[in-house]
Structure 1
């Protein structure tokens, strides 16, 4: 619910605005002087303020300055009895979003004031959405950077077999995913980017596999196979430590499971996978 503060020393103005906005679902608070208005702004952090420029004690311009020191995102619409361009200019320089002229009629509230409120709140929402999108883009870049870094580590450990194997896996997987998408498979909401990143990193756990086992020219012993089969768990545990890579960790942990239950590390079978 939008929190709205009406700061005006005229009771009639306060009652009119309170009644009008309460009927439209706003949570309305009232203040009748500058100090009361500042106190409400500090304690309640309203989204929107209707601020009279001429009140006892602190005047509207002083309140305006203080309000934006407390929270610069608060939208403030000044109330003035005279359309004084110089005063309005000063108020806007101090951060006022808009202004309204009193006394109000019901028609003026419906046709003018409500539109100003909607515009102010929409602009605030649009700005917040843009900041959120930029933050998400930054987070994706960080995630891609981490995936790329881990992929490079894998390539350095085994530049021949593992690097080529991973590259082929991603290439084949991309084609299989595309076909399955055409048939309506949703992959539990995972994006193609996450799926392919998980496949790219599926052997990251080999970081912990001893080189004498990883590069052994002959068959592995039972004990060596036990160590080798630990790499999906090791890889998943690495990625689970990073918030943006947790979905990929599932792919890494279960990439060696087999439909008939002969895979590892958990021996999952059929739909369990």
Structure 2
């Protein structure tokens, strides 16, 4: 919490001082200003996470301050305080972008509750944004897999790029007679031939290195040609786009941050591209190039995308050093247990895939929660419990994995109905999800974690036996204990029989 910085804006010095002292005691770093103009000056110089502002102030009031924050594209939440509380004021504040509204006079505890609520909502929004990049990629895969001819494939890809990145214009360049020439140009911006010439040069530099590149307004404006044609305020990205029409090309997308509104109703202006955009754009172009090269082989495309998603499992486990290899071990236990329970080959394939991917949703959970050695707070538990839903949303984008969605989504239900996300109980929990629960629980108990040391296999089986009928399906627990006691699972444990 100490890294959170709050700016308090109010023309009542006594109120500022009381709130500043109270928030400092809560661990926040606090700045103060007596009106909106002072606040804007501070925002130009200091990093601030949250503004808490009065509405009625001299020189510049709270509503005008919110408008300035929005127009300057500052990513800052705002809580409005006012003694002039009406429904109209509340609605206007929220319409202008305020996150919360609090009437004066107020208890300090209510203010801290509002602040904590805003920060938690922004954390959740950030996690959703990180997962959103993966969802965009999977959506792109689904759309590209629908096309079998190359022109339609390229057309659909470019449409998806425009939908995701909202560029002012884009151009696809390909080599012709030792220089890059535009094959496809979309957007009024490129009617300026000199502007198109500058981006031809940019495409040429990207083609020579075969590396994606971000062109922000500063490095674009630094070139002589850009100065000549007034390209200030223009942001662009370029990345290799291979395999289309049997040659390697470069896709350039451009965003005019000064002259083009971000949305159709004209509210606000678009921001320039950033490194996160470039990373996602690079994945897009790489994926489209692969699709163009293998568009006649749908099976091949599906395998590539399963491998791609599997890499996210490794990314999840890389976030927590204690869980490296966890999913692979859970898969192997599931296959051994599933075979003993009489599953057919197709069911075993689904169970193995679900076991491998069951924790993929943790890609959207912050490291400080995944690796926390102490018990999680209720707020942290709510965040952690979102990972089955995140996993379901990620995997839903791949049609070939639809059959495993119930297994992944319900692997944290409990047999007595006290689990999550849906509180299913008994036979309502998918059968193979119940197998996954036992395998996941046994592996977690017998491995080191940030919050616990590994238990011995003997102790882990006793815990499973004690939880049979409460957390786990008793028949599946009995089947796993039988396998271990008979020596059929030597890779996972060597032990004496369980005693009651």
Q: Which residue of 2 aligns with 1:29?
A: 31
Structure 1: gaps of 5 or more residues: 156-162, 171-176, 184-190, 194-273
Instruction: Looking at secondary structure, tell me which structure has more helix per residue.
Output: 1
How many angstroms apart in 1 are the aligned matches of 2:88 and 2:330? 65
Matched, 1:86 2:84: no
Residues 76 and 178 from structure 1, CA distance in 2 versus in 1: closer, same or farther, beyond 3 angstroms?
closer
CA displacement, residues 228-259 of structure 1 (integer Å, 9 cap, x when unaligned):
xxxxxxxxxxxxxxxxxxxxxxxxxxxxxxxx
Q: Which residue of 2 aligns with 1:246?
A: none
Q: Which residue of 2 aligns with 1:52?
A: 54
CA contact (8 A) 1:13 1:103 kept: no
Matched, 1:119 2:269: no
CA contact (8 A) 1:45 1:71 kept: no
**Aligned with residue 182 of structure 1, among 332, 354, 363:** 332
Where 1:14 maps in the other structure, the secondary structure is helix
How many angstroms apart in 2 are the aligned matches of 1:180 and 1:99? 48
CA contact (8 A) 1:73 1:124 kept: no
CA contact (8 A) 2:331 2:356 kept: no
- Match runs of 1:129-208 below 5 Å: 129-139=127-137, 141=141, 142=284, 182=332
CA displacement, residues 175-205 of structure 1 (integer Å, 9 cap, x when unaligned):
xx9799627xxxxxxx979xxxxxxxxxxxx
Q: Name the TM-score, length of structure 1 as normaliser.
A: 0.51
Where 1:4 maps in the other structure, the secondary structure is strand
Q: Which residue of 2 aligns with 1:15?
A: 17
Question: How many residue pairs get matched?
Answer: 164
Structure 2: gaps of 5 or more residues: 142-283, 308-326, 334-354, 358-500
CA RMSD, aligned part only?
3.5
Residues 11 and 149 from structure 1, CA distance in 2 versus in 1: closer, same or farther, beyond 3 angstroms?
same
How many angstroms apart in 2 are the aligned matches of 1:59 and 1:180? 58
CA contact (8 A) 2:330 2:356 kept: no
Residues 151 and 10 from structure 1, CA distance in 2 versus in 1: closer, same or farther, beyond 3 angstroms?
same
How many angstroms apart in 2 are the aligned matches of 1:180 and 1:121? 35
How many angstroms apart in 1 are the aligned matches of 2:85 and 2:53? 15
Residues 180 and 19 from structure 1, CA distance in 2 versus in 1: closer, same or farther, beyond 3 angstroms?
closer
Where 2:85 maps in the other structure, the secondary structure is coil
Residues 147 and 53 from structure 1, CA distance in 2 versus in 1: closer, same or farther, beyond 3 angstroms?
same
Q: Name the TM-score, length of structure 2 as normaliser.
A: 0.29
Q: Which residue of 2 aligns with 1:75?
A: 77
What's the CA shift for 1:136? 2.7
What's the CA shift for 1:67? 1.2
Structure 1 consecutive aligned stretches of length 4 or more whose deviation exceeds 4 Å: 139-153, 177-181
Q: Which residue of 1 aligns with 2:250?
A: none
Q: Which residue of 1 aligns with 2:474?
A: none
Residues 150 and 29 from structure 1, CA distance in 2 versus in 1: closer, same or farther, beyond 3 angstroms?
same
- Greater CA radius of gyration, 1 or 2? 1
Q: Which residue of 2 aligns with 1:159?
A: none
CA contact (8 A) 2:54 2:80 kept: yes
